Amino acid sequence: MLYIFLKKLVNRLNASYSVLYNDSGLIISDYYNDTLNPKDYLEIITSQINEDLTLIQKLVDHKTHFSMRLSHFDNNSEFIKKYTFGPNDFYLRIFAPILENEEINTVLENFRNELKYLFIEIKKNYKNY
């Protein structure tokens, strides 16, 4: 299910990739377009996640709240968005062409709603076991 949500993000934003990971750097799910070599993608994304987590930890150490980072370079945007569900923090990283802030906010809010729905369903199903 997460794979489908991330694929929709990549397609809607014409992105190179989208990846959801937790605060220990574990990749929960990801999707990248066909132009990326899987080996190269893994090297790039692992490095990027480590850099993200280092930055986030520095902010936490300085008692600064992190919710989102948006960087523009070479006609591309790099987004990192934090989502918290219960005690768990997740980070969505997207690399895409530069977009308008309104479109970014709409896409990220839609993803949050889909992620929230998924966690509610998992929780319901978990209680049935």
Residue 93 sits at φ, ψ, to 5 deg, of -115, 130
Cα gap 125→23, rounded to integer Å:
24
Q: Which CATH architecture has domain 2-127?
A: 2-Layer Sandwich (3.30)
**Max Cα–Cα distance, the chain, nearest Å:** 50
| 124: Cα within 13 Å, side-chain hemisphere | 6
pTM of the model: 0.85
Per-residue pLDDT of the chain (129 residues; tens, 9 = 90+): 788 989 998 998 899 999 999 888 889 999 998 888 888 888 888 899 999 989 888 888 888 888 888 888 889 988 899 998 888 889 999 999 987 778 888 888 888 888 888 887 777 776 655
Q: Which of 75, 70, 19 is nearest to 48 (CA)?
A: 19
Angle among Cα 15, 81, 25 to the nearest 5 degrees reads 90
